[in-house]
Chains A and B, each alone.
Chain A
């Protein structure tokens, strides 16, 4: 399938939604990031946001720069076709890899034992499987800096909590259904918490404010309590 093979529908007068599919799938998501990168490179005038989701891409634009949406649709399709010729369809191997240290279990991952019980694995096996995956940031959403990671081992999929927590600590590494992610700040949340990273993932005073950007590859590394304490960037 080619990167230009997407539907493009207007979302009001100042946005386009490029849809590549309707399921959560790594190859589909790769095409979303390839398209996002192509459009960022092309830098069409008046385009304010290029925001990837699992299988779609939102393009927000100034309607005064593009009074005829069809003209913008044409320009977008041309930009996608051009990069296709240049890059082909393969997942870019040179995507940057971010390593996140994670302290699993205990006070940092209060739901680890329950996840182990639900998956009929030991806690050690849950951790081993969770750090073994090569993850990719599919999209950010829900809250500033919240990264949805693709690549969770299917054996680790567990249902969300029936009653969400009101305060999930910043840095919590969690599983919700077939998805995994890291809470960038204190938030309400219904995912099961299996660990916590000592790194600060979202800081509005930092440029860029989010450590995880769409399309980045992520590796997790299990650390001990002393390392967590030494690396901790969270406010006490």
Chain B
């Protein structure tokens, strides 16, 4: 069991999410940075559908009530236990009674803490993801708070004696702190409806992640974008990465807790391969877009998926050998 001593800014339980219920108004939710979640689970030998902690900007302090094996991925978060700093992207072993203190992130927005065995709360509608916006999921979809006790799944005894593996992952392909690199954008249903200045600004301007951003979406500060003529739309389905343009002219890029439908003009669609990079932008970070076509976006996504699968296999082999 893990006891939450302090919850951090916003720590939640996340897995791959809750697909298949959009027709009932229920979104997928799940981890905002899915590759980081998968790699955290791989590092501790969990199946990819296990549940982990998603940590936002400032981490929680946790008391471990049994021996555990953990891994931290995603944004680099300050971590300490028993007076020792803990590295990310490698399996770590901590004894029962340890207090794990997770602090701030130098850059990035979300870290993942996987624990061997997974967080073993009861699934709600097929998933252990907390949809914080809808108030759905374990603990009624509210973020963790002090006093919460999180059960852990069954786990084999430690194989070796070392408290730290002799190897770690190179985070670089999986965490991109370089906010100067543009995110790739497909054209959307209403991109052509933007006025000429806005169409140019969409790819030429530098936007900034607004403070009001959350797991529902990233609100962008920057030049106000406008359509060349107002458009009355009825609600249609949206997906993560859809760029909506509300009447105030500040685009919203939808993230994992987006509502299942929306009635704002859709001025672009973020390439899925760049969704984790968007999820790691924090309020105040810069954001630029670069155009991409559908074929290239699909190739990039498939290449990333292949890399992830190879990495999961390689990690499993390292674990088996150690």
What residues of A have a CB within 8 angstroms of the CB of B125 in the complex?
204, 209
| B241 interfacial by beta-carbon distance below 8 Å | yes
| B22 interfacial by beta-carbon distance below 8 Å | yes
Instruction: Knowing A49-B19, A208-B24, say if A11 contacts B305 (CB, 8 Å).
Output: no
Instruction: Knowing A10-B294, A22-B234, A24-B234, say if A142 contacts B25 (CB, 8 Å).
Output: yes
Q: How many residues of B contact A (CB 8 A)?
A: 38
- Binary flags per residue of B30-59, CB closer than 8 Å to A gives 1, else 0: 000000000000000000000000000000
State A185–B301 Cα separation when bound (angstroms): 37
State A146–B23 Cα separation when bound (angstroms): 10
| B136 interfacial by beta-carbon distance below 8 Å | yes
Q: How far is the CB of B241 from chain A (nearest CB, A)?
A: 6
Interface residue ranges of B95-147 to A (CB < 8 Å): 124-125, 134-136
| A233 interfacial by beta-carbon distance below 8 Å | no
| B298 interfacial by beta-carbon distance below 8 Å | yes
Q: Chain A interface residue count: which class?
A: 35 or more
Residue of A nearest to B240 (CB): A12
Interface residue ranges of A191-217 to B (CB < 8 Å): 204-205, 208-210, 213-214
What residues of B have a CB within 8 angstroms of the CB of A60 in the complex?
19, 22, 239
**B301→A63 contact, CB < 8 A:** yes
**B23→A51 contact, CB < 8 A:** yes
Among the 9-residue stretches A13-21, A80-88, A98-106, A113-121, the one with 4 or more Cβ atoms under 8 Å from chain B is A13-21
**A56→B236 contact, CB < 8 A:** yes
| A52 interfacial by beta-carbon distance below 8 Å | yes
What residues of B have a CB within 8 angstroms of the CB of A208 in the complex?
24
| B250 interfacial by beta-carbon distance below 8 Å | no
**A144→B23 contact, CB < 8 A:** no
Interface residue ranges of A47-78 to B (CB < 8 Å): 48-58, 60, 63-64, 67, 69
State A143–B134 Cα separation when bound (angstroms): 6
**A51→B272 contact, CB < 8 A:** no
Interface residue ranges of A1-42 to B (CB < 8 Å): 9-15, 17, 19, 22-24, 36
What residues of A have a CB within 8 angstroms of the CB of B270 in the complex?
12
**B259→A142 contact, CB < 8 A:** yes
**A12→B19 contact, CB < 8 A:** no
| B311 interfacial by beta-carbon distance below 8 Å | no
Instruction: Knowing A49-B23, A209-B26, say if A13 contacts B237 (CB, 8 Å).
Output: no
**B23→A213 contact, CB < 8 A:** yes
State A213–B22 Cα separation when bound (angstroms): 11
Q: How far is the CB of B261 from chain A (nearest CB, A)?
A: 4
Q: How far is the CB of B292 from chain A (nearest CB, A)?
A: 11
State A49–B235 Cα separation when bound (angstroms): 17
Of A24, A53, A69, which is within 8 A of B261 by CB?
A53
| A171 interfacial by beta-carbon distance below 8 Å | no
**B22→A58 contact, CB < 8 A:** yes
Q: What does DSSP make chain A's interface, helix, strand, loop or mixed?
A: loop
Interface residue ranges of A130-155 to B (CB < 8 Å): 139-148
> Which of B135, B189, B261, B269 has most A Cβ within 10 Å?
B261
State A221–B270 Cα separation when bound (angstroms): 46
| B242 interfacial by beta-carbon distance below 8 Å | yes
State A115–B35 Cα separation when bound (angstroms): 51
**A11→B239 contact, CB < 8 A:** yes
State A15–B22 Cα separation when bound (angstroms): 12
What residues of A have a CB within 8 angstroms of the CB of B294 in the complex?
10, 13, 69
| B284 interfacial by beta-carbon distance below 8 Å | no
State A11–B186 Cα separation when bound (angstroms): 9
| B75 interfacial by beta-carbon distance below 8 Å | no
Residue of A nearest to B125 (CB): A204
**A11→B234 contact, CB < 8 A:** no
Residue of B nearest to A140 (CB): B25
State A146–B21 Cα separation when bound (angstroms): 13
**B237→A17 contact, CB < 8 A:** yes
> Which of B241, B270, B305 has most A Cβ within 10 Å?
B241
| B260 interfacial by beta-carbon distance below 8 Å | yes
What residues of A have a CB within 8 angstroms of the CB of B26 in the complex?
144-145, 209-210
State A202–B24 Cα separation when bound (angstroms): 10
What residues of A have a CB within 8 angstroms of the CB of B23 in the complex?
36, 49-52, 140, 213-214
What residues of B have a CB within 8 angstroms of the CB of A64 in the complex?
302, 305
What residues of A have a CB within 8 angstroms of the CB of B272 in the complex?
12-14, 63
| B245 interfacial by beta-carbon distance below 8 Å | no
Residue of B nearest to A47 (CB): B20
- Sample of 11 more A-B contacts, CB < 8 Å, known A144-B134, A145-B24: A9-B189, A11-B237, A11-B239, A11-B242, A11-B269, A52-B23, A53-B236, A141-B235, A141-B260, A142-B25, A145-B26
Identify the B interface with A (CB < 8 A). 19-26, 124-125, 134-136, 186, 189, 233-239, 241-242, 259-261, 266, 269-272, 294, 297-298, 301-302, 305
A-B contact pairs, 22 of them (CB 8 A): A10-B294, A11-B242, A11-B266, A12-B239, A12-B241, A12-B242, A12-B269, A12-B297, A14-B239, A48-B19, A49-B22, A58-B236, A58-B238, A60-B239, A141-B259, A142-B259, A144-B24, A144-B26, A145-B25, A204-B125, A210-B24, A214-B23
